[in-house]
Amino acid sequence: MKSAQTKITDEKEENQNITVDGKFSFENDSHLRTVFDALNEQRNSTRFCDAVLKVGEREIRGHRSILVAAVPKILDRQVKKGDTEFIVDLEGLDPNAVEVLVEFVYTGKLLVTSDGVLNLFQAAKSLGMKQVQDSSEKFILEKILPLNWIALRSFAEGNDCPNLMTAIDEFIAHNVEDIFHKKDFFQLPRLQIELATTNNRPEENIDPVNLCQMALTWAQKQLEQGNISLRELLEKTHIMFLTANEELKECTMEDLDSGDEKSKLIITEAQREYIRYTSLEQLAKAEASTSEDEEELIVLMENNNNKRNRNTHMIQDFNVIGATQTSDSGCVGVAHVEGMLVAISIHSQASTCANMSDSGDSCCSGEEWVLIAPMSRGRCSVGAVELNGKLYAIGGYDRGDCLNTVEQYDCETNEWMPVTSMNSHRGRLESEVVNGKIFAIGGSNGNTELNTMETYDESTNIWSFGPPMIQSRCSFGTGVIDGRIYAVGGYQGPRNLKSVEVYNPENGEWARVSPMNTERNNLCVEALNGKLYAIGGYNGWTCFNTVECYDPEEDRWYLVPPMKTARRGAGAAALHGKLFVIGGSDGTNFLNSVECYDPSTDEWKTVASLNIPRHNVGTVVIKDHIYTVGGFGGTSFLKSIECYDTKNDKWNCFVSSD
């Protein structure tokens, strides 16, 4: 009898003797998925993981061989090989995006919200995961680009994405006509040009792209020659004309006084006054620089030469991306200048008067639209008043320089004209109109807070000093009730103020009245229905949403319902029996939101937002519209104007020149 071992050996020999044609084949379509699901389960529970991706403070674990096989550029990063772990530093990438990509490596699937796609694209590009990069780029161009092209272009440039930049520029070029009246467009720094004509060239009909390129060529020359900085170039409005050589030239006093009738400028009186004013301003700057001693001049010349060399290197990338005709007398464009997007606005003064449009979001057929003309320079914490239908922008500050200059805006002609400057430089001032005269009150001259007051007489075009306040005040508020000016809160030195005083023009005296309940600086104040409202403000560490109301008959302050949002540096205006509070800052963000208080219901409601945030903004009511003047937009001091149409609940940046 055979043993069991002998039987097994005999069976093996029999099997080896079996011969079959063909080969055995077996495939399991779910095998890889099953294995990777198991590996992903191991990863999630950190079992058998021998690789660590360090992204900021976060550590993402995985399997070395899988990550190296699936992430082409992972080894391009700084790698530290430990005894048991493979450590890769992914500093600079978003940890959530890297987590999503690792999940994709194991599952072949990913899902992110739209606000995470840019970070995902950046991480996929950095790690060489081209399929994810291409797919996310497609989503970006289809979904994100039309809604936020400015931020997207900044992202593309900052992350070296030439294909994305090209697509964005193509979008801008093809959609200038649609985007130039949208909010994004007004966030761009602006090269503002008023185009004058000459007797020998009374009418110009130049393609908008060519005209904008001429403007850009002129700007490039100014920067190359070191005549002006880019910031200064974008702060001013430039009155220019076309020369016989098809070049743009900025108008000077010499051009105004030219005896050549053929080249004599055809300009408005407002433009003429502005040219004289800016020419004298430049002359004063030149004289100030020549008064420096010789050693400082040499240093200045060396600095200018270095600056010119740097500028020559930096300004290679000057090009118009797109432009469009906005009316018979105006065009706008978008250009790339020294690594940033810049809006170009060119307008030739139309013979017809400008009327306020009902909409800032559409350009209806048959109407000509132009931007509301900007001030000659940016102004923050500016005094803004209305006198005889004209808007006056008084003082303010720009990059820390307190101003004494004054400009006047004519709503009918859409023009600004210089007015006699104040005797004192004043930023963070307040201004009011009583008995046909403008009062510029308090503020700061850049060194100290002021208690002085000046009055402007339009008939004589002269500023003269009036009685000073009892107390110096800066960043305060004013309102007028029964012909008397109330000065409220603010600060003096290190102290925030709750004191209030009132000026009586009849006897020329200031007198104290009851103080507010709370110290407030950077507040806004407005009179409505015989009462005075002190709104929001700041006490040095907290922004307020609280509002106090002063009854002059009772000489008493009391609280009314608070705003929905805490605000400092907001503007206030009273119109149609309601109180509007505009822009400002909540201490963290610069605001474009607007709230409206109705005393009849004792309630606040939100109305249409500004096109751009404005902090320390001037406000004034002219006819049935509220104008916002200048302010700070978060990155620059603003010279632009917006106008609120209560009928349509809309802020306009355009006027119709029909």
Domain 29-147 CATH assignment equals 3.30.710.10: yes
- Average pLDDT of span 597-618: 95
- Average pLDDT of span 334-356: 70
Look at residue 565 in the predicted model and tell me its pLDDT. 96
Look at residue 20 in the predicted model and tell me its pLDDT. 67
Considering only residues 354 and 260, tell me which one the structure prediction assigns the higher pLDDT.
260
Look at residue 308 in the predicted model and tell me its pLDDT. 36
* Interacting residues of 461 by C-beta distance below 8 A, sequence separation 6+: 419, 420
pTM, two decimal places: 0.67
pLDDT band at 225 (very low <50, low <70, confident <90, very high): confident
Look at residue 305 in the predicted model and tell me its pLDDT. 39
Look at residue 4 in the predicted model and tell me its pLDDT. 60
Look at residue 22 in the predicted model and tell me its pLDDT. 80
pLDDT band at 294 (very low <50, low <70, confident <90, very high): very low
Query: How many degrees, rounded to 5, is the angle at CA 309 between CA 305 and CA 313?
Result: 165
**Helix, strand, coil percentages, rounded to 5, for the chain:** 30, 35, 40
pLDDT band at 13 (very low <50, low <70, confident <90, very high): low
Q: What are the boundaries of each domain within the chain?
A: 29-147, 185-282+317-350, 371-656
Look at residue 21 in the predicted model and tell me its pLDDT. 74
- Average pLDDT of span 239-261: 79
Are the C-beta atoms of 346 and 330 separated by less than 8 Å? yes
- The percentage of the chain sitting over the pLDDT mark of 70, rounded to a whole number, equals 84
- Average pLDDT of span 130-156: 92
* Interacting residues of 51 by C-beta distance below 8 A, sequence separation 6+: 61, 62, 63, 64, 67, 85, 86, 87, 88
pLDDT band at 351 (very low <50, low <70, confident <90, very high): very low
Architecture per CATH, domain 371-656, reads as 6 Propeller (2.120)
pLDDT averaged over every residue in the chain: 85
pLDDT band at 238 (very low <50, low <70, confident <90, very high): confident
Look at residue 304 in the predicted model and tell me its pLDDT. 39
Highest-confidence segment of 71-75, 200-204, 240-244: 71-75
- H/E run at residue 137: helix 130-139
pLDDT at 82 over 70: no
pLDDT band at 425 (very low <50, low <70, confident <90, very high): very high
Q: Each residue of 617-658: pLDDT tens digit?
A: 999 999 999 999 999 988 888 999 999 999 989 998 877 665
At 158 the three-state DSSP class reads helix
CA distances to 70, 96, 349 from 154, rounded to whole Å, are: 30, 22, 34
Separation of alpha carbons 170 and 186, rounded Å: 20
Separation of alpha carbons 568 and 583, rounded Å: 9
Report the candidate in 468, 470, 467, 475 with the shortest Cα–Cα distance to residue 443. Answer: 475
Q: Each residue of 443-485: pLDDT tens digit?
A: 999 999 999 999 999 999 999 999 999 999 999 999 999 999 9
- Average pLDDT of span 518-523: 96
- Average pLDDT of span 230-254: 83
pLDDT at 262 over 70: no
